Structure 1
Amino acid sequence: MKSKSEADPEFVSDQVSQARRYYLNLKPPESAPLTVVCGGVERMRTDYVINRDRFPYFGIELVTEGRGELMLDGESFTLSPGNVFAYGPKTAHRIANQAPSRMRKFYVDFVGQEAFQLASDAGLMDSCPLRVTRMHELVEVFEMLDREARADSDTAGEVCNQLLRLLLIKIRQCCLADSPMMPRAYATYERVRQHIESEYLRLHTIEEVASECDVTPIHLSRLFRRFGGVGAYRYLLRIKMNHAAEMLLEERLLIKEVAERMGFSDAFQFSRAFKRVYGIPPKQLIQSSSDVAKPDSPKDEATTDLDDEKNEST
């Protein structure tokens, strides 16, 4: 699948299988207080590695799925859903996907006279990732940035600059360290989430998950809605369908073959589950991917996007 258009700047990685990006101002004014340059959401390939000594802008990234490795100023960290981190123009950083998972992460790049101070106030400039709760609230702000950046309006840039300020405040609010009563419940959520990510192919119901993780289904549901903003079964289904989409697009398997591998009774039941997550049936996904891959097809800022985060609310 084509993941990077000819219009993308050099600093944008092509080691992604899915991406949705926007560009507001790649040559921002140096004197402005705060300016959003670009941003988006990407799903990494298993071989994804970014290694930079410096970067033109400040960057904030939020991991929502998968696992990875991060190095900031020579210090190494493990990345998993709920980690948010930042780097400045002079911050050496290395970001790598941890196979066999495929990270999905949002990002926004920005500059400005107030950029460093605002990021520092959010706890992001200490050369280490933060762990946040209520990750879905940050995702909502990232989605608002994406939507407003694409708006046909003279005020799009100004709105995005204010949304960036909101994002930084929300990071301060949702930082796990700010809530002393949170760690025990969050640790349970993390343990269950990791179990789902490692065993999703054989798991079919939340009752199975709850039993294997020694929690009740009701408690499990509350944990996921509290920390993930989505029901536990919805999360399990999304992980399953992410894997299904990769088999359809990268391994080029037939829909009925994917349905069989995923344990569905027939292709119809699989297609219904797939549409529940992605909003479109698998046949349409395959067709749209083929259209994007054509060399004479029109190119825009939005490359292929499997927008399951948006469809969580539908």
Structure 2
Amino acid sequence: MFDSGPPYPFLTSPARAVMVAGVNQAMPQPAGVELARQVGLQSRYFFLSPTEADGHEVRTLYGGFEQCLPDYRISRASFPHHCLEVIVGGRGAVEAGGRWQTIEKGSLFLYRPGGAWRMRGTGTEGLRKYFVVFDAEGTWAKWVGRLAGEPFQFEPLWELVALLEALEREAGHPSAQRQNICDHLLMAILGKLRSQEPRPPTPNPSSWRTYQEAARFIEENYRRLRGLADIAAGVGVDASYLCRLFQRYSGMTPHRYLTRLRMQYAMTLLTREGLNVTAVAEVLGFKNPFHFSRVFKKVHRLPPSAFFRTGPDAGEARPGLPIRS
């Protein structure tokens, strides 16, 4: 049986080959940029030059992924830029506006220039998080300002992670269009947040807990699940009720949620493991590679053959487009 490792590869995020000591070679760390010290070796960073930007209202400066140590603490009396933090693991707390609020997997928060804030880990495993520091003007700056300081939840989290990893990948690809591409990816990330009314933390109703349980079940078992009936049976709820929960909290059906996870895993098999289309279709349980190719193209907008690479650089294949929403 083929096993590529962790069941949710795009949330475990091993260090990239383009990283040396956690820093992207495409652009050295600028003077005056202070990074957290209480982080593990899997942490990685990228840096861009704002002078390369071409008049965008959103300009990407730097960011990365941090595997925080359990004693992670950071405190800023002020900060000169906007920043987005996306928590993908562990537990912690953030203080903004004079009160501490819990953050965990799926929590997002934004802060704006001049704001004071503190963050700390509260669990034994340490926070795992993506972050992007950027400048914003016009309507984008106003929108970020309205949300700044209050953590909120976003579903499905993996869609944001896919875009964040695409941004990091493009930042590590030296080209004249690097800044332009990264700015557009960041606008896609912010646009995805803007398209959903952020759901502030509230006392968890039973329906929200059931949805979270079902989403976790799919994330942990998507390689063997085949459809709605399998999901409903595994969670122990009625299939029609499960569909209503997913439409309410994620805007998609459970089957679509499952399909996107399976197709993201398929991309991992093609680009990192070097399997061909027929082999990937077999691993995922498709009756034939043609059916698999149709489903893959519907999700990624490109056929799987566009992602398949052979040879020693197979692990560095770079897909041409992020997953569509």
Q: What TM-score do the two structures reach when normalised by structure 1? A: 0.57
Q: Is 1:110 the equivalent of 2:139?
A: no
Give how far 1:39 is off. 7.7
Identity of aligned residues (%): 25
What is the one-letter code of the residue matched to 1:307? P
Separation in 1, partners of 2:194, 2:297: 35
Once structures 1 and 2 are overlaid, which stretch shifts more, 228-237 or 269-278?
Answer: 269-278
Query: Do structure 1's residue 125 and structure 2's residue 140 form an aligned pair?
Result: no
CA distance in 1, matches of 2:101, 2:149: 15
**Map of 2:237 onto structure 1:** 215
Equivalent residues of 1:70, 1:93 under 8 A apart: no
Q: Which residue is equivalent to 2:208?
A: 186
Tell me which amino acid in the other structure corresponds to 1:49: Q
**Superposition pairs for residues 1-314 of structure 1, below 5 Å?**
7-8=26-27, 10=29, 25=50, 36-38=58-60, 49=67, 57-62=81-86, 67-69=88-90, 79-81=104-106, 83-86=107-110, 107=132, 109-110=134-135, 122=147, 124-125=148-149, 129-132=151-154, 173-177=197-201, 183-286=205-308, 304=319, 306-308=321-323, 310=324, 312=325
- In structure 2, C-alpha distance between the alignment counterparts of 1:170 and 1:201, rounded to whole Å: 29
Instruction: Supply the distance in 2 between the matched residues of 1:241 and 1:276 (Cα, whole angstroms).
Output: 10
Aligned-pair distance for 1:265? Answer: 2.2
> Structure 1's 234 and 176: CA in aligned 2 closer, same or farther, altered over 3 A?
same
Instruction: Decide whether the 8 Å contact of 2:277 with 2:289 is kept in 1.
Output: yes
Secondary structure, counterpart of 2:90 in structure 1: strand
Instruction: Quote the Cα distance in structure 2 between the aligned partners of 1:248 and 1:133.
Output: 26
What number of residue pairs does the alignment pair up? 258
Q: Is the 8 A contact 1:189 1:223 kept in 2?
A: yes
CA deviation after TM superposition for structure 1 residue 133, in Å: 6.8
Gaps of 5+ in 2: 1-15, 36-41, 165-178
Superposition deviation, residue 59 in structure 1: 0.7
Change (3 A) 1:39 1:68: farther
Cα distance change, pair 292–211 in 1 and its aligned pair in 2 (3 A): closer
- Judged with a 3 Å threshold, the aligned counterparts in structure 2 of structure 1 residues 287 and 278 are, in CA distance, closer, same or farther, namely same
Q: Is the 8 A contact 1:221 1:232 kept in 2?
A: yes
Q: 2:60 is paired with a residue of what secondary structure? A: strand
Distance 1:281 1:37 in 2: 31
Aligned equivalents of 1:227 and 1:245: distance in 2? 26
Question: 1:29-50: per-residue Cα shift (whole Å, max 9, x none)?
Answer: xxxxxx63328999x7xxx637
Structure 1 residues 234 and 269: alpha-carbon distance in aligned structure 2, compared to 1, 3 A threshold: same
Letter in 1 for 2:322: D
| Contact 2:307-2:319 within 8 A present in 1 as well | no
Relative to structure 1, the CA distance from residue 203 to residue 110 in structure 2 (aligned partners, 3 Å threshold; closer, same or farther) is same
Larger RCO, structures 1/2 (Cα 8 Å, 6+ apart): 1
| Contact 1:22–1:150 (8 Å) recurs in 2 | no
